[in-house]
Amino acid sequence: MTDTRPGLIPAPTMIESTDGAPTTVTATSRIISFSAESGEAAQSVIRAATGLDVVTAEGGARVGDIVIEIADGPAPGGYTLTADAGIVIAGGDAEGAHNGLQTLFQLLVQADAGEIPALRVEDAPRYGYRGVMLDVSRHFFDADVVLRLIERIAALKFNRLHLHLTDDQGWRIEIPELPELTRSGAATQVGGGAGGAFTIEDYRRIVAHAQRHHVVIVPEIDLPGHTNAALVAYPDLAPAGVVPEPYTGTEVGFSTLDLTAAETDRFVETVIARVAAETPGEYVHVGGDEAFATDAAQFVAFLARATRAVAAQGKTPIAWHEAGKGEDLEPGTVGQYWGRSVEPESQRNARTFGALGGVILSPSDLVYLDMKPTAEHPVGLTWSAPAISLEQAYSWDPADVLDGVPAEAILGVEAPLWTETVITEQDIEGMLFPRLLAVAEKAWSAESSSWPEFEARAAVIAPVLERLGIRQGPAGAGIQQHPVEPAE
């Protein structure tokens, strides 16, 4: 038997050829699954990869059938896949079975004449948190765009979608108790335009679609800075003397809530309670970045209150690494590191979370996918790096970013896409792909291959991206010219 690496991304722990018989999935193949939901997911995967409508069945497997089961051997999120005159996917749990189906999808798309050679895959994730972030505040994207993004990231074994729902330019989630947030607070975006917001029904549809794809939605309500849209909606939340106006620019750090007012705490508690109630996932993100207009002592005290408010709703709070300046955060709070990969002051703040709930890595010079992929790209920013190429997004190790944070405190990796210059869905695709392939492997694979070997796999996987409906033409057809060079 020989160890080979076909065009699978992220790379599995082990894949080897065997002496068994190859497998061809045909119209007479059947799906035998441990659950109706998994069977339906397998039908969708096979239809997308081959165009075949394969039926589900019960009983013993025949030649050419696809069996999906739960087994004791694989780790949580992990699976084995065996091709030998049929396909058997054994997941360590339901998420593991889903991940095995994504590997089957890639194998089927690349199969020569529809034939998968005899092989065995053993696989498990390096990190439990594998995320993508979409900023819907700077430019608003409707629920259908988010649903398609969920499908595409799930195909690469990402299991978290972080939605940046509020910022200076717009408030993007309905809070029925505070209706003005999605009236005046959502009425614009960067460069002007109508803005928009998710209704509660929109958000529920996003959450349900994510659950079907084993993706957890992580909602972010950015506090206490990045709050101008909230202040426009409810001016009584503004500090004395501040008269909020709708904002369509891209500067950061100028807004803050009045942290001395009792109504501010009531507002925060109401918002967090509603968002937590609508979110079945374990996390609520409370922001905490770039609060330059907030008094330092008030900032620390506020983040302690905000993280406790999240925990009171049965959720785990996440905050950007600046929140690590305080020592009274709710135990278990998770920090998200967005500094550059070598930035001592930011790393000091991030180390606080090593002793709390752990750290999610989003180093801005490596995985901030709003940075240009090339210097000539028509969309994107350059404040953290002149460009982040596919090779740069691949050529790093998450274990090497934060000094003084133990390996077990690294929860995973998340690639943010901020949208100051991202206007259309094609812009989203052009910025995320192919670089998201590299991030997927950093988050999943325990061992990195060489850059040339990964580059070869990334080229081979192009038909998979096409089958997912990802347009790889140039982004930027709708680009507007904005003087943007903010730091997130």
For the chain, list the domains and their CATH numbers.
14-123 (3.30.379.10), 129-449 (3.20.20.80)
Do the Cβ atoms of 415 and 130 come closer than 8 Å?
no
pLDDT of residue 488: 40
Show which residues are catalytic.
Answer: 290
pLDDT at residue 215 tops 90: yes
Q: CA-to-CA distance for 181 and 186, rounded, in angstroms?
A: 7
| Span 327-358, pLDDT tens digits | 899 999 999 999 999 887 788 899 999 999 99
Average pLDDT of the chain is 94
Please report which confidence band the pLDDT of residue 472 belongs to, taking 50, 70 and 90 as the band edges.
Answer: low
pLDDT at residue 4 tops 60: no
| Span 227-270, pLDDT tens digits | 999 999 999 999 999 999 999 999 999 999 999 999 999 999 99
pLDDT, average across residues 81-105: 98
Task: Please give the span between the terminal C-alpha atoms of the chain, in angstroms, as a whole number.
Answer: 49
| Span 441-458, pLDDT tens digits | 999 999 888 999 999 999
Locate 307 and state its tokens.
């993280």
Point out the least confidently predicted range of 117-121, 259-263, 405-409, 473-477.
473-477
